[in-house]
Amino acid sequence: MRLIGLTGGIAAGKSTIGRRLAHHGAHRIDADVLAREAVAPGSPGLARVAARFGSDVVHEDGSLDRAALGAVVFGDPAALADLNAIVHPEVRRLFREHVDRAAASDPDAIVVYEVPLLVETSARDEPWDLVVVAEADVESRVARMTALRGMTEAEARQRIARQGSDAERRAIADIVIDTSGSEAETLAHADRLWERLVSLG
């Protein structure tokens, strides 16, 4: 089994690359999906969030009230650190479960973990066989976020500023894929990456 870390800033094209690699046969694990699973209704993670932040952050149907929680942790570094101390270990546990299942089903699996905060969290310490960084210039990313996600330009720039820098991601990268061109160009880069991954096997 080979373990590939796929990262990049918000709107840098990680998902486009991740989906393409999955199309070719990679086992794709999405950290954003795991983060939602970590606080799903009835989960230990959600119980700990409610214990720390109060029942007001849980809807009547038992699901997390993300807006209420966001209002609590926004601008409060200590509260955000408490939240991360609950969610991040759960995400790591779920990640290991997914990796173990992939390895059990296919010892030669190529597992791609699409993780936005690879450089900012303990994910950087995983035993990666390869770290791939999707990278686009800030203006391209802002344009994508305003057009595709409905954000204002100010909101988009704030989100970018809260993440690690391109330099920090490049420092741990084995491969950097420029995603500032067309989607077709990004897909072609992903195809060449897949050929390289297969050849390494």
Contact 113, 6 (CB under 8 A): yes
Tokens standing for 159?
């989100």
Is 47 annotated among the ligand-binding residues? no
Is 11 annotated among the ligand-binding residues? yes
Is 15 annotated among the ligand-binding residues? yes
Tokens standing for 85?
């101390």
Q: Hey, is 28 helix, strand or coil? A: strand
Rounded to the nearest 10°, the torsion over CA 150, 70, 12, 88 is -160
Residue 29: DSSP 8-state: E
Is 167 annotated among the ligand-binding residues? no
Is 122 annotated among the ligand-binding residues? no
Name the strand (E) or helix (H) holding 160.
helix 153-161
| Measured distance CA(181)–CA(201) in Å, rounded | 29
Q: Which residues carry a binding-site annotation?
A: 11-16
Residues that constitute the known binding site for ATP: 11-16
